[in-house]
Amino acid sequence: MEPFEEPGTWWLPEHEADARGGTIRFAYGNSGLTLTLIGAFPQPKATPRRQSLASYPIILGKTSSGRLMTLESARSISIQRVGLEDTTLTETISGTELFIGAHLPDGSKTPCRQVSMNFEHLADWALPDGGFSQYGSLEATDGGQLEHFAFNLPDPVEFQAFGADIRINYGSDHQDGHHSFSIQRPVRLIATFPEPLPYARTYDEIVKPLQYFLTFACAAPTQLLDLEFAVDGLERQVSETLSIPTWIETAHHGWREPNLMAQPFWEMLLPLRMMKDRVEDIFRHWSEIMERGASAIDLLASLTLGPPLYLETRYLFAIQSIEAYSRRRFENAMIDPDAHEKRKATVLAGLPDDKAIRSWIKELLHWSNEPELRGRLETIIAYSTPPARDLLRENYVQLAVRTRNWFTHYSEELEPKAASGEDLYWLTEETIVLMECCLLHDLGFDGVEAGKLLEATRRAKAVFNTKQMRGT
């Protein structure tokens, strides 16, 4: 979605007669989505203490170019009078989401049948083995101009995941200049649902899992570039027997400017060509990972998809992702829970009849059967060996625990034992690599395969080289 600015007419649902002229703007980052009206929509009554500004679940509009628009979750941020004598009232409204191509009274609750997505690095990740295309014959005239050029698109890749039929579509954009001819390689992910799904659910159930997977697989952030969806009943009739979906574009507040630099597939953790005939199995496993431990993947993804973080915060997010992953992936009790309950009952039976003491001991015993961070890390390293053992420093577990404890409790005796500065950076990178080792294992790759995949990424290479220089 490119930034744009377009005038039009805007109204609240069922109040088209009270429409206002105004301009809609979409920009990257915090500028987001703004609608500036000439005039203002009806405002709530002011209270004695403050002027209350309105919120608008849905605003409908039609631009000067004829495009239908739906602005959702909007709120008034300012109302001003412009001019000295003949003043004009203007209202500025900030929106969260914009739908372009239709009026949707239900907004993001509108059921949709298909979602079409594009991400940063998607074309690089989906590059087929042997190149993006096979070039046909090239013929030149005496003047050196191309007379014939053949471009063969790869076949789509299809699989089922997240309760939908997923299709990787390969397309082409041709640009013919006076002395040059270039072809871009657009790739899109299209999800088709067996039953219409409210658009608001598609992000959590389809878009976010795919974005997280691509960020993991590309070993680089993969920001969503554009998102479209198709709604039943809004098809375009192109002939008596053929109709095609009307794709509704979306624009979101907070979308950042895209990074269009190519990410070489040979530096990716898991490019499509390395998945080969295991595509459906790998995405099935990823679906299971998201169902079981979405909170751990949320934390991991925030390190790359979120805003820049301080070193301390990056480390805490990384180690928390490990803890959340461990809690949902492995046994979360040191002994049999029933045996532990009997042990707790025995302890409580021997306490004096003092309410304060019994409450204090109960609180202490509540988490007493859960593994500590040290035990969780040792279990995870054993699960993801051999690559984890090869990449992590010998005292990784001890240093990781002490550093987490220092940044959690800030006990003075822990500070000299915790990582700081450059060493804290590398400890965080080791923790992220450990999570990548675990996820590769969960996706069905054995230790040898996982090690070879990790060798391609800059992060794993840097962690290994730093370990070698450190001599540990």
CA–CA separation, 365 vs 187, rounded Å?
A: 54
Q: pLDDT at position 366, please?
A: 66
CA–CA separation, 381 vs 108, rounded Å?
A: 42
CA–CA separation, 60 vs 409, rounded Å?
A: 51
Going by DSSP bridges, is the β-strand pair 88-95/4-11 parallel, antiparallel, or unpaired? Answer: unpaired
Rg (CA), the chain: 28
Going by DSSP bridges, is the β-strand pair 173-176/181-184 parallel, antiparallel, or unpaired? Answer: antiparallel
Q: pLDDT at position 160, please?
A: 92
Crossing angle between the packed helical segments 421-442 and 373-383, to the nearest 10 degrees: 50
Neighbouring-strand partners of residue 423: none
Q: pLDDT at position 344, please?
A: 73
- The verdict on pTM exceeding 0.75 is yes
Highest-pLDDT range among 291-295, 310-314, 359-363: 310-314
Question: Residues 177, 148: contact at Cβ < 8 Å?
Answer: no
Neighbouring-strand partners of residue 146: 140
Domain positions in the chain are 4-41+54-107, 109-274, 283-470
Q: State the sign of the Cα–Cα–Cα–Cα dihedral 404, 406, 411, 417.
A: positive
Q: pLDDT at position 233, please?
A: 80
- Distances, alpha carbon 51 to alpha carbons 12, 48, 79, 333, in Å: 21, 8, 11, 54
Weakest-pLDDT range from 59-63, 87-91, 94-98, 181-185: 181-185
Weakest-pLDDT range from 91-100, 238-247, 458-467: 238-247
| Confidence at 258, pLDDT banded by 50, 70, 90 | confident
Both tokens of 302, joined, read 């925030």
139 φ/ψ angles, rounded to the nearest 5 degrees: -125, 135
Q: pLDDT at position 328, please?
A: 87
More confident residue, 240 or 333: 240
Q: Is the pLDDT of residue 134 over 80?
A: no
Q: pLDDT at position 173, please?
A: 58
Q: pLDDT at position 440, please?
A: 96
Q: Is the pLDDT of residue 125 over 60?
A: yes
CA–CA separation, 301 vs 282, rounded Å?
A: 19
- The pLDDT of 316-338, averaged and rounded, is 84
- The pLDDT of 39-48, averaged and rounded, is 71
Q: Is the pLDDT of residue 67 over 50?
A: yes
Q: Is the pLDDT of residue 436 over 50?
A: yes
- Distances, alpha carbon 52 to alpha carbons 44, 45, 89, 470, in Å: 6, 7, 17, 60
Residue type, 274: M
Q: Average pLDDT, whole number, for the chain? A: 85
At residue 147, the 3 state secondary structure works out as strand
Q: Is the pLDDT of residue 239 over 80?
A: no
Q: pLDDT at position 116, please?
A: 94
Q: Which helix (H) or strand (E) holds 275?
A: helix 272-275
Q: What DSSP string describes 377-414?
A: HHHHHHHTTTHHHHHS-TTHHHHHHHHHHHHHH--GGG
Residue-wise pLDDT for 191-213, tens only, equals 999 999 999 999 889 999 999 99
Q: pLDDT at position 139, please?
A: 52
CA–CA separation, 14 vs 103, rounded Å?
A: 12
| Confidence at 80, pLDDT banded by 50, 70, 90 | confident
Q: Is the pLDDT of residue 271 over 90?
A: yes
Q: Which residues, including other chains, have CB under 8 Å from residue 38's CB and lie 6 or more apart?
A: 20, 21, 22, 88, 90
Q: pLDDT at position 259, please?
A: 83
Neighbouring-strand partners of residue 244: 236
User: What is the 8-class DSSP label of residue 455?
Assistant: T
Q: Is the pLDDT of residue 257 over 70?
A: yes
| Confidence at 467, pLDDT banded by 50, 70, 90 | very high
Q: pLDDT at position 446, please?
A: 92
CA angle 367, 372, 376 (to 5 degrees): 125
Secondary structure, 3-state, 35-72: EEEEECCCCCCCCCCCCCCCEEEEEEEEECCCCEEEEE
Both tokens of 145, joined, read 């101009």
Q: Is the pLDDT of residue 416 over 80?
A: yes
Q: Is the pLDDT of residue 140 over 80?
A: no
Q: pLDDT at position 141, please?
A: 54
Q: What DSSP string describes 457-469?
A: SHHHHHHHHHHHH
Weakest-pLDDT range from 179-193, 203-217, 385-399: 179-193
- The pLDDT of 316-324, averaged and rounded, is 95
Q: How many CB atoms neighbour CB 273 within 10 A?
A: 15
More confident residue, 386 or 152: 386
